A and B are shown apart, each in its own frame.
Chain A
Amino acid sequence: MSRMLPATSTPVRVLALWWPGWSLIAAQEAAGAPADAPLAVVAKGIVLACSAAAAAEGVTEGLRIRHAQARCPDLQVLLHDPEVEQRAFEPVLRVIEQRAPLVQVIRPGLAAVRAVGIARFYGSEAAAADALAAAVQEEFDHDVRLAVADGLFTAEQSAYATTGEVPWLQVPPGGSTSFLAGLPVTVLSAAVDDARMPNMLRRMGIRHLGEFAALPRGDVHARFGATGLRAHQLACGEDAPAISPRSVPLDLDLRVVCDPPVGDVEQLVAQCTPAVDRLITALMEHALVCNQIRLTLHTEAGLVHERLWRHPWQFTGAELLDRVRWQLDEFSAETSERYDAVTLVTMAPESLESASHHAEGLWGDRPDEHVVRTVTQLQARLGHDAVLSVSVGGGRLLDERRVLRPWGEAIPTSAQRRTDQPWPGSLPGPAPSTVFAQARPAVVLDAEGAVVRVDRRGGLSMPPATLRLGDGPARRVTAWAGPWPIQQRWWRNPLNVNRFQMIDDHNEAWLLLAGGEHWWTEARYD
Chain B
Amino acid sequence: MLPPPPVTSRDETVAHLHDLLRRETGGQKRQAGQVRQSSAVFALPGVPVHPDLRDSFPTGLRLGSVYTLSGSTTVAMGLLAEPTRTGSWCAAVGLPHFGVESAAAWGADLTRLVLVPHPPSQDWVSVVAALTEIADLILTSRPPHVTPGEVERLHARLRIRRTTMIVAGAWPRAAAHIEAVTTGWDGLGQGYGALMRQRLRITVTERHRERTADLGWPVQAAQAVQAWPA
Q: Does A402 contact B (CB under 8 A)?
A: yes
Residues in B whose Cβ lies below 8 Å from that of A407: 114
| B215 on interface, CB distance cutoff 8 Å | no
What residues of B have a CB within 8 angstroms of the CB of A388 in the complex? 114-117
Residues of the B chain whose Cβ atoms lie less than 8 Å from the Cβ of A402: 98-101
* Contact status A429-B196, CB under 8 Å: yes
Is A463 a contact of B115 with CB atoms below 8 Å? no
Contacts A391-B100, A391-B110; is A434 near B119 (CB within 8 Å)? no
A160 is an interface residue with CB less than 8 A from chain B: no
Say whether B144 faces chain A, with CB atoms less than 8 Å apart.
no
B111 lies within 8 A of A481 (CB): no
B127, A378: Cβ atoms under 8 Å?
Answer: yes
Chain A contact surface mostly: mixed
Q: How many residues in A have their beta carbons less than 8 Å from beta carbons of B?
A: 56
Query: Which residues of chain A in 347-380 are interfacial with respect to chain B, using CB atoms and an 8 Å cutoff?
Result: 363-364, 367-368, 370-371, 374-375, 377-378
Does B187 sit within 8 A of A, measured CB to CB?
yes
Q: Judge whether B154 is part of the interface by a CB distance below 8 angstroms.
A: no
> Considering the chains assembled together, what is the distance between the CA atoms of A254 and B148 in angstroms?
50
Contact partner of B99 (CB less than 8 A), chosen from A403, A420, A432, is A432
The answer to whether A501 touches B197 (Cβ under 8 A) is no
Q: How far is the CA of A526 from the CA of B71 in the complex (A)?
A: 7
Interface check B97, CB cutoff 8 A: yes
Among A392, A463, A480, A508, point to the contact of B100 (Cβ < 8 A): A392
Q: Is A390 an interface residue (CB 8 A)?
A: yes
Complex CA distance for A296 and B216, rounded to whole angstroms: 54
From known contacts A378-B131, A398-B101, infer whether A429 and B113 are also in contact, taking CB-CB under 8 Å.
no
Chain B residue total in the interface (Cβ 8 A): 60
A185 at the A/B interface (Cβ < 8 Å)?
A: no
A53 contacts chain B at the CB level, 8 A cutoff: no
Docked-complex contact A509 and B113, CB < 8 angstroms: no
Residues of A within 8 A of B89 (CB): 367, 371
Q: B225 contacts the other chain (Cβ, under 8 Å)? A: yes
Identify the interface centre among B123, B131, B185, B190: most chain A CB within 10 Å of its CB.
B185
Once the chains bind, are A523 and B99 in contact (CB under 8 Å)? yes
Cα A434 to Cα B99 with chains together (Å)? 5
How far in angstroms is the closest Cβ of chain A from B153? Answer: 18
Within 8 A of B (CB), among A499-526: 501, 503, 507-509, 523-526
Query: Bound complex: CA of A381 vs CA of B96, how far in Å?
Result: 19
A525 CA / B185 CA spacing, docked (Å): 10
Say yes or no for B226: interface residue by CB 8 A criterion: yes
A436, B227: Cα distance in complex, Å: 20
Interface of B is mostly: mixed
Contact between B225 and A392, CB atoms less than 8 A apart: no
Residues of chain A within 8 A of B120, CB atoms compared = 382
- Contacts A382-B119, A525-B195; is A371 near B99 (CB within 8 Å)? no
Q: Which residues of A contact B208 (CB under 8 A)?
A: none
In B44-89, the 8 Å CB interface with A consists of: 71-74, 76-77, 89
A523 to B130, CA, bound (A): 31
Indicate if A443 sits at the interface (CB-CB under 8 A): no
A432 touches B189 (CB 8 A): no
Contact A427:B227 (CB < 8 A) given known A375-B114, A392-B104, A501-B188: yes
Q: In the complex, what distance in Å separates the CA atom of A389 from the CA atom of B218?
A: 25
Chain B residues whose CB sits within 8 angstroms of the CB of A70 once the complex forms: none
State which residues 191-230 of B face A: CB under 8 Å: 191-198, 217-218, 221, 225-228, 230
CB atoms of B74 and A430 under 8 A apart: yes
Q: Which residues of A contact B134 (CB under 8 A)?
A: 368, 370-371, 374-375
Asked if A480 contacts B123 (CB within 8 A), the reply is no
Docked-complex contact B100 and A426, CB < 8 angstroms = no
A387 touches B182 (CB 8 A): no
Report the minimal beta-carbon distance from A396 to chain B, rounded to whole angstroms. Answer: 12
Q: Is the CB of B102 within 8 A of A431?
A: yes
- B198 lies within 8 A of A525 (CB): yes
Answer yes or no: B25 CB below 8 A from chain A CBs: yes
Q: Does A43 contact B (CB under 8 A)?
A: no
Contact of A389 among B74, B114, B118, B192 (CB under 8 A): B114
What is the bound-complex CA distance between A387 and B100, given in angstroms? 15
Min CB distance B150 to A, Å, is 17
Distance in Å from the Cβ of B149 to the closest Cβ of chain A? 21
Q: Quick one: CB contact mask for B114-150 with A, threshold 8 Å, 1 for yes?
A: 1111111001000100110110000000000000000
Within 8 A of A (CB), among B136-174: none
Contact with B along A56-78 (1 / 0, CB 8 A): 00000000000000000000000
Contact between B228 and A481 (Cβ–Cβ < 8 Å)? no
> B105 at interface (Cβ–Cβ under 8 A)?
yes
Neighbour of B192 across the interface among A419, A437, A481, CB < 8 A: A481
Q: State whether A390 touches B190 (Cβ < 8 A).
A: no
Q: Are A401 and B96 within 8 A (Cβ)?
A: no
What residues make up the interface of A, taking CB atoms closer than 8 Å to B? 363-364, 367-368, 370-371, 374-375, 377-378, 381-382, 386-392, 394, 398, 401-404, 407, 411, 419-420, 423, 426-437, 463, 479-482, 501, 503, 507-509, 523-526
A-B contact pairs, 11 of them (CB 8 A): A377-B130, A392-B110, A423-B230, A428-B228, A429-B225, A430-B196, A431-B101, A431-B104, A509-B185, A509-B198, A524-B73
A-B pairs, 7 with minimum CB distance: A431-B101, A433-B73, A419-B230, A433-B102, A388-B115, A433-B99, A426-B227
